[in-house]
Amino acid sequence: MMNARKVVVDVLNEVFFKNSYSNISLNKALKNSNLASSDKALVTEIVYGTIKYKYTIDIILKKFIKVKFSKLDKIILNILRSSVYQIRYLDRIPDFAVVNEGVELAKKYSSLKSSKFVNGVLRNYIRNLDADFLSSRDKIKVIAFRYSFEPWMVNFFIKQYGIENIDKILSGLNSTPNVTVRVNLLRGSYDETFNKLQELGYDIEEGSICPEAIEIKRGSSIENNPLFLKGNFTVQDESAMLTVPCMEIENDMYVMDLCSAPGGKTTHISELSNNTGTVYAFDIHKNKLKLIEQNAERLGITNIKCDVMNASEYNEKFKGKADRILVDVPCSGLGIIKKKPEIKWNKSINDLKELCGLQEKILQNASKYLKKGGILLYSTCTLNKDENENNIKRFISSHNNFKIEDIFFGDVSNVNYDKYGVTILPNEHMDGFFMCKLRKLW
């Protein structure tokens, strides 16, 4: 168990002090470890949980630590953070066991003095579990402490979606995501894949909205699953699965995906076109195109052409060429916090403002590549209305040759319909997402 706790602390150090992505650091650490599957699952839970609840945990720790965090040994700080997470949010690990593990870890990787410090802080916390750590009645601070979000982000969501939606949004972003897969109908029917997954011992259920979605509630790692290796499905959040069907893909079309890596939506276009026509997959990073090519090969797709292109720079040779265009723009990612909880801590209000200009450029260029009568689908995985509805408002006001077409997924509790697009609020099944369908009139 000591090795498992050391992996936790190492990953937290990478995320909190080196600005690493949690999923990349965690996957690398687990791959290089010799941990059993059960220990890997525990490490994953503690890592994501500690990152998710960092704001609340730090407020608690400051009640028992008199020195500034910047003066603490990084290993010791993250031992304390991960220990408080386990004591406060996990039921199955006894408090005394958490303390003992933390003390031994500090002793082995720091010093005897540090281990005594860890012991004192954690035992003091256990004696005061029911204390009022916040000592404030400020509405924003109370919500921020409860859900562990920076107050500016809580205030941001309230201003954009109203106080009546704040609990739904923040609890959705804090939920633990299950793996969701999209069935590749080029390889077999939905029922065939569903039944085979059950035969392999997976606890699964149908998706909430998308007819190709299967949610995996429990089961072994997907990457070694024989159905995955044969290309029967792709791992993708259900919110993201909903974009491509809105594009009205038909056989033998010329389709462009301007920001395509890692290729989940690109391959979906190919599947819905029955592997006909041509799907042009562009990305600014050449190394990321390999991911698309590898996915396409696994899925049995042959109609994708990958190339490097900066979507924010206009390319005259594509003018008026495309029947359909997908513009899944780079965004602030506020809708996928449950998968990348470090977004809570590495984004600022200024970061959100800076992206809109880039997104507008990409949308402007895409509009010129589209044929008359063609469809442009704009999407993001954020909940920032400036990157979503307001970008569409600005575009439509200066492009009277485009009209917004309706998207309707039914009367679903977490789907909000607006004249400028559709917002999917995050919940335990789906990420936060936005999409808008635009038709070129002339």
User: Is residue 176 a contact partner of residue 182, using CB atoms and an 8 Å limit?
Assistant: no
- Using omega within 30 degrees of 0 as the cis cutoff, is the peptide bond preceding 262 cis? yes
CA distances to 27, 37, 40, 57, 341 from 31, in Å: 6, 11, 10, 28, 21
82 known member of a binding site: no
Ligand-binding annotation for 339, yes or no, is no
366 belongs to an annotated ligand binding site? no
Q: Does the annotation list 328 as a binding residue?
A: yes
CB 227 within 8 A of CB 211: no
Query: ∠ at Cα 412 (140, 178), nearest 5°?
Result: 75
- Residue 19 class from Cβ within 10 Å (0-12 exposed, 13-18 middle, 19+ buried)? exposed
The phi, psi pair for 307, rounded to 5°, reads: -155, 155
Here the tokens at position 395 are: 């575009």
Residue 277 assigned to a binding site: no
Q: Which of 246, 331, 381, 436 is catalytic?
A: 381
- Residue 273 marked as a ligand binder: no
Give me the count of residues in the chain. 442
231 assigned binding-site residue: no
User: Which residues fall within 8 angstroms of residue 433, CB to CB, at 6 or more apart?
Assistant: 237, 239, 240, 242, 243, 335, 379, 380, 381, 423, 424
Under the phi-then-psi rule, with left for phi > 0, alpha for psi from -120 to 50, and beta for the rest, what region is 42? alpha
Structural element, H or E, at residue 58? helix 54-62
Q: What is the full DSSP assignment across 278-325?
A: EEEEEES-HHHHHHHHHHHHHHT---EEEEE--TTS--GGGTT-EEEE
The two tokens of residue 404 are: 């917004």
Q: For the chain, first and last CA: distance in Å?
A: 65
311 has binding-site annotation: no
Cα separation of 385 and 1, whole Å?
44
CA atoms of 327 and 362, how far apart (whole Å): 8
Angstrom distance (rounded) from CA 20 to CA 13: 9
Q: Does residue 306 carry a catalytic annotation?
A: no
Pair 12, 46: CB distance under 8 Å: no
Supply the DSSP string of 138-194, one letter for each residue.
-HHHHHHHHHT--HHHHHHHHHHH-GGGHHHHHHHHHSPPPEEEEE-TTT--HHHHH
DSSP codes, 102-125: HHHHHHHHT-HHHHHHHHHHHHHH
Residues with a known catalytic role:
381
Residues annotated in the binding site for S-adenosyl-L-methionine, as ranges?
Answer: 259-265, 283, 328
Question: What are the binding residues?
Answer: 259-265, 283, 328
